[in-house]
Amino acid sequence: MRLAALLLLVHGDDTRMQLLYFWAAVLLALTPVLIFGTIGVLVVRKIWKEQRGTRNAEGGTEGQPDVPRSDFRVPR
């Protein structure tokens, strides 16, 4: 606590230092958001690509209704 008071007396009200602290805080807050957001986007794109590849390997979606399909078989 004394160190903070001494530093405040020596440096006073420095607006450049406050601006530097502000941008450091912004960078610190945005870094995890950017990292985890990028990981999430890459995972979702890979999942979509795999699903599209599976559909194309099954013969495509020609002539089939554009609705989501269930994994459960319907008794006929």
Q: What is the mean pLDDT of each run of 10 residues along the chain (76 residues)?
A: 74 82 96 97 94 73 63 73
Q: Are 55 and 61 in contact (CB under 8 A)?
A: yes
Q: Rounded to the nearest 5°, which phi and psi values hold at 65?
A: -65, 150
To the nearest 10°, the Cα dihedral for 14, 18, 24, 28?
Answer: 150
- Please write the tens of the pLDDT for every residue from 52-64: 887 776 665 565 5
Verdict on whether the full-model pTM lies above 0.85: no
| CA 46/CA 38 separation, integer angstroms | 12
